[in-house]
Structure 1
Amino acid sequence: MRQITVYHVDAFTDQPFGGNPAGVVPDAGDLTEQEMQRIANELHLPESAFLLPSDRPDADFRVRYFTPQQEIDFCGHATLGSAWLLASERNWAKRTERVVFSTNVGLVPIDWAKGETRLSQVTMTQIGPKVAELAVARQELARMLGLSVDDLDDRYPIRLASTGVWHLMVPVKSRQAIDHARPQLQELSLHNKQHGIGTTHLFTFERGTDYDLYTRDFAPAVGIPEDPVTGAANGALAGYLVLEGLLEQTKRHQLRIAQGDAIHRPGRLNITITPGEEGPIIQVGGSAHVTISGQLRLPAEK
């Protein structure tokens, strides 16, 4: 019998049962791809991250991400949760100031900030943002999302955006409209698969007492009806805001984004956008909470 240590980490929150839950398997070097997929299905969390020895001198770990249904190229909240686990449970914060993950989309460095007594935040630098146009009828998109076409905010463009995975950015007029969205998940899944889209990301500039933007994210194409708090999609949103000229490209911006409230898993992301020679640099940060740790028992290898 083999025993594998697994963790349930709630990301973008400092409380259990909030934010976005991720499975983290920090010692996955001996697992096969089939075993990783089966473990992700067994944990049945939106995504699980598996940390393997890196074959690159400029990375500390190779990381693979799985939903209960399939492998995906990148996952922001599982990245943050994995780095938080390494820093808080495996003493990496005492050894170095950062860890670098090698992922299917490239290198992702993660830095941690320490308060007087404990870890306070980890921040990932995502790969360079991109945007692209997608021909989609506003009325048809609104119908798939369970919205009125009048709920869509026509001051801002509907675009694809990516910091590693393509997300469909949908501007909405109000938080109330976003909270009332009831997407046709099967249709949305087929649409997103057809266009190579990972998730559909609703956002509004309606501010709250502790946030600048409010979002929801639907990912049925990868087996996740609603992703509670999405590091990758909100990083892509930050890139969209700058590349589409909604935020000035020559200035540094700091944003606080709220997500998860609609499904009673509130989370908060801190995003910094910094001008760079090759385009905007997107950093997504937050805290996490290790909620469960345990041993998964697997059959002995034959």
Structure 2
Amino acid sequence: MKLTLYQIDAFTNHLFGGNPAAVIPLEEWISDSLMQRLAMENNLSETVFFVPSKKPDADFEIRWFTPVSEINLCGHATLASAFVLYHVMGYGFPAIRFQSKSGILVVTKNFDRISMDFPAWKPEPLADVPAELATALGNLTITSVYKYRDYLVEVADENMVQLCQPDFTLLKKLGHKVILTAKGSKADFVSRFFAPTVGVDEDPVTGSAHSQLIPYWSEKLGKKSMYAKQLSKRGGDLWVEYLGDRVTIAGQCVFFMKGEIDL
């Protein structure tokens, strides 16, 4: 069996920026164990697979795997999948409807940006903040901690996010993925994302984290449309909007590589 693999840098307009995703289009599903082994072999934060849907309400079914486990939502790999469909595979319709573990995700193309319609995950204040959390984040002074899927940790300023040096062993013991965020200087808000519990110490740019960040910062800033930056070493740019029960997350992509997997 031969499979085609594309590697796409997502949420960036230049090569070697943003978040690289491995995209593997399929005609039909292969086994879960094989998809997991392929993701482990690729050793990127996510490998994404999609197949044509047989259901009338979706165009494709999509699934995402880290090197160690399947996850329920991934923004950069969805963006990368849409880029491959639009710019490599010749998909000609204005919208792509992906059926996923988080429901239907609608993706549209607007000039050089691709926009994703994602669920809004409004985080709530965390009542019992683990005592080890601040230590695991390099003894940061924490302003507040919220949670939906992941811990959302706000700190006082952008520099604290940029300079944070986490203890990934301690973070893994906490058992939760962690979003670190602050109000931005040039962006409306900035963030970093740590996920050692699923085999990714730091994810370069994380669309799914913005399902929590967008409603959080929209309420704090009194704005619906915002510009966000993820402050990993590779960096990423996101144009986002809060729509109540949904959010939109838009970004750019750059083609890096096409290869063939021989199984």
More strand by share: 2
Answer whether contact 1:46 1:227 (CA < 8 A) is retained. yes
Among residues 161, 180, 201, which one is paired with 1:178 in the alignment? 161
- The residue type paired with residue 270 of structure 1 is W
- SS of equivalent to 1:130: coil
Q: What is the deviation of 1:57? A: 1.3
Answer whether contact 2:120 2:211 (CA < 8 A) is retained. no
Answer whether contact 1:12 1:19 (CA < 8 A) is retained. yes
In the alignment, structure 1 segments of 5+ residues that lack a partner are: 115-119
Counterpart in the other structure of 1:285? 250
Counterpart in the other structure of 1:203? 181
- SS of equivalent to 2:63: strand
Q: What is the deviation of 1:129? A: 2.4
Say what the alpha-carbon RMSD is for the aligned residues: 1.7
Does residue 139 of structure 2 align to residue 147 of structure 1?
A: yes
Taking the aligned partners of 1:281 and 1:106, their CA distance within structure 2 comes to: 12
- The residue type paired with residue 100 of structure 1 is R
Q: Percent identity?
A: 32
- The residue type paired with residue 220 of structure 2 is L
Greater Cα shift, 227-236 or 183-192? 183-192
Counterpart in the other structure of 1:109? 106
- SS of equivalent to 1:230: coil
In the alignment, structure 2 segments of 5+ residues that lack a partner are: none
Does residue 70 of structure 2 align to residue 71 of structure 1?
A: yes
Answer whether contact 2:119 2:211 (CA < 8 A) is retained. no
Taking the aligned partners of 2:113 and 2:230, their CA distance within structure 1 comes to: 17
Counterpart in the other structure of 2:204? 228
Query: Structure 1 length as normaliser, TM-score?
Result: 0.82
Counterpart in the other structure of 1:117? none
Answer whether contact 2:157 2:182 (CA < 8 A) is retained. yes
The CA deviation string for residues 244-270 of structure 1, in whole angstroms up to 9 with x for no partner, is x3144xxx621111114x42x121011
Aligned length: 263
